[in-house]
Structure 1
Amino acid sequence: MSASTDDTARAGVDGGEFRRPTMRDVAARAGVSLKTVSRVVNAEPGVSPALADRVRRAVTELDFRPNVGASSLRRADGKTATVGLLVEDVANPFSSALQRAVEDVAMPRGVVVFSASLDEDPERERELARAFAARRADGLILVPASDDQSYLEAEVRAGTAVVCVDRACRGVDVDSVVATNRSGAAEGVRHLFAGGHRRVAFLGDRQSIWTASERYQGYLDAFAAAGLEIDPSIVVHDLTDTGVADGATSTLLTRPNPPTALFTAQNLVTIGALRALRRLGAERTVALVGFDDFPLADLVTPGVTVVAQDPTAIGKLAASVLFSRLAGDTSPTQLHVVPTTLVRRGSGEIPPPR
């Protein structure tokens, strides 16, 4: 094929507008049939090494890229080698670590991961889950924003593998991978009690979120086990971002009889509380234990003591369970639990005032 013909294959024939090279262009360039090109591109047998080399050279010269969607429709198993990952917010450090872990399991298998943020919106969850399923994703890994995933029942029956992470699925029988939210929160509060604190404030995310509810229950468990009464005036829920958490912390610490310690039940809430402490000059006098780690928590002074989840372990386990189901595992579904770890860095070890 001449240079001018190459240009036509790359740019198209109508006014020089761009057109992606097709299998027909590759066949013409290599001097073989369309079927031969199809077999080479889809790694099917029946093509001699010499012809296969000619096709591969033509593919390289024309920068041909197969239509993966069209190829998947021709596969006997109907698989698209894609999975969807629906998280709370891809900008959240927990979500981004989770995504990377899923990718690390998927990529060696030749599977592409598409992700989206749910923003704790149940309707957005349903729309995006259905959109991924409609685009024939082989499986979904989902951080539920709603308390009912029964809308996925038809997709599961149709063969879509589903695994819920961070929060257990409800209304559909699928695997879930969660952390020890309740017992981990209780451990964090007990750690503050062990340091001598009794006025320990709770600052949490939306009460409607399963993990937020579990962590609050852990806070209640720790008080009950210690035989202590909770002051409702230092319990604050529904802190949706760092700015709101900053304001709530400032309010608690500037009122009469403020708490001597804070238990913050989500990483963005912890960051907001830390900003308030530093602005008020109280980072060395008010103890702080946060649930969930975050970047640079060990570099501030004092370092932030946290009940750390392991999003990498959670993501890898969720992806492994998903691919096991896709490979034909029909064993009963399970709730997989990944333990949390108390990481002492200094802020949680500040004693109460004498």
Structure 2
Amino acid sequence: MTPARRPTLADVAKAVGVSAKTVSRVLNEDGPSSAETRKRVLAAVAELGFQPNLMARSIRVGGPDTTVGLVVPDLSNPFFGAVASGIEEVVDDRGLMLLMGSSQDDPGREHTLTQTFLARRVSVLMVVPSVGADHTHLKAPRAAGMPVVFIDRPGSGLTTDTVVSSNRAGARTGVARLIAGGHRRIGFVGDLPTRLYTRRERMAGYREALAEGGLPYDRRLVASAHHPEGSAEATARLLALPDPPTALLAGNNFMTLGVISELARAGRKDIAVVAFDDLPMAESLQPGLTVIAQDPKTLGVSAGRIALRRMDGDRSRAQTLTIPTRLIPRGSGELPALNGVRSGV
């Protein structure tokens, strides 16, 4: 099947009935044009799906193969910084520059960012999908040969290469560790929204471990939050239950910050904790923090290598690559249950 041809400046000019130079003046805002002409040009651009090359004014050679666009939910999260570092390590050897933008986990903002990167004619587009985002608009660029890679979470509406962590297996291993310590009331502090792929997978692993351990699932032991302050409040609510948990699984690094902050504030050194994602200086806490460690740099490296293979002509079927997690015991997850006595009594 012949890849779809990208609309050109000449196509827009022909559709409007003006010269290519006139279209260029409208798009670059560098010359006179009537309001009516501008309106017709922009309408044709939208109808044809034309992506103006925003770099053409400063880079006249090279075109594609000069930049990689990466959309992440949160530039302040060290996890995504490590992912970006892995990508950069791979693509730098090819002479590619990494450009990043934050979607703030908003589908509309993500769409705008991806369109901006496409307009800049990036060589590769990598996206950590937002909850609720639709990626059907990326079908045409992908069909035209642009590598599109989803990282950390699968996308929606587009079958393409995806690199994720073993979220479900990691959570199952962490909860099994707590069960082995005698815990029978194990809480889960997860991030919002609950539709988030990583949240769903880790929750599934939590429930599977409970079932394998012969323990019932109690929805009262599940709390959700969107930031460390919220997870601290969620932890306080769980500990205030009439029959509170004796152990907690923290759903990600931001959730963990709130959990350990609340436990420290309340002086609760008896609550066992296993955290999903490692934290800087986690081993320096008292006790050290037991974690299910992801490998964000390997996520990035793997995504970068897949993208370069696609650039080099690999047209094999899209793949989903799962990067293993590993349990790092440091003490907090090994705290034993209090011989069946309710925590907090």
In the TM superposition, residue 170 of structure 1 has moved relative to its aligned partner by 2.6
1:217 equivalent to 2:210? Answer: no
| Corresponding position of 1:162 | 148
289, 310, 320: which one aligns with 1:325 = 310
Any gaps of 5 or more consecutive residues in structure 2? 1-53, 340-345
| Corresponding position of 2:251 | 265
In the TM superposition, residue 168 of structure 1 has moved relative to its aligned partner by 1.6
Amino acid at match of 1:84: G
> Any idea what the Cα deviations from partners look like across 1:126-174, whole Å, max 9, x if unmatched?
1111111111111111111134322211221233211111112231121
The 1:233–1:331 alpha-carbon spacing in structure 2 relative to 1, beyond 3 Å, is same
| Corresponding position of 1:307 | 292
TM-score (norm 2): 0.79
1:174 equivalent to 2:129? Answer: no
Superposition pairs of residues 49-128 of structure 1, within 5 angstroms: 69-70=56-57, 72-75=59-62, 78-128=63-113
182, 186, 190: which one aligns with 1:196 = 182
Amino acid at match of 2:236: S
- Structure 1 or 2, whichever has the larger Rg, is 1
Report % sequence identity.
41
Mapped partners of 2:59, 2:311: distance in 1: 16
Amino acid at match of 2:141: E
Coordinate RMSD, CA, aligned: 1.6
Structure 2 SS opposite 1:250: helix
- Residue-pair matches, total: 284
Q: Is the 8 A contact 1:270 1:290 kept in 2?
A: yes
| Corresponding position of 1:6 | none
Structure 1 SS opposite 2:148: strand
Q: Is the 8 A contact 1:161 1:326 kept in 2?
A: yes
TM-score (norm 1): 0.77
Q: Is the 8 A contact 1:133 1:160 kept in 2?
A: no
Relative to structure 2, which stretch is displaced further, 116-125 or 142-151? Answer: 142-151
Any gaps of 5 or more consecutive residues in structure 1? 1-66
In the TM superposition, residue 333 of structure 1 has moved relative to its aligned partner by 1.0
In the TM superposition, residue 71 of structure 1 has moved relative to its aligned partner by 7.0
Q: Is the 8 A contact 2:55 2:120 kept in 1?
A: no
The 1:69–1:294 alpha-carbon spacing in structure 2 relative to 1, beyond 3 Å, is farther
Structure 2 SS opposite 1:288: strand
Q: Is the 8 A contact 2:148 2:307 kept in 1?
A: yes
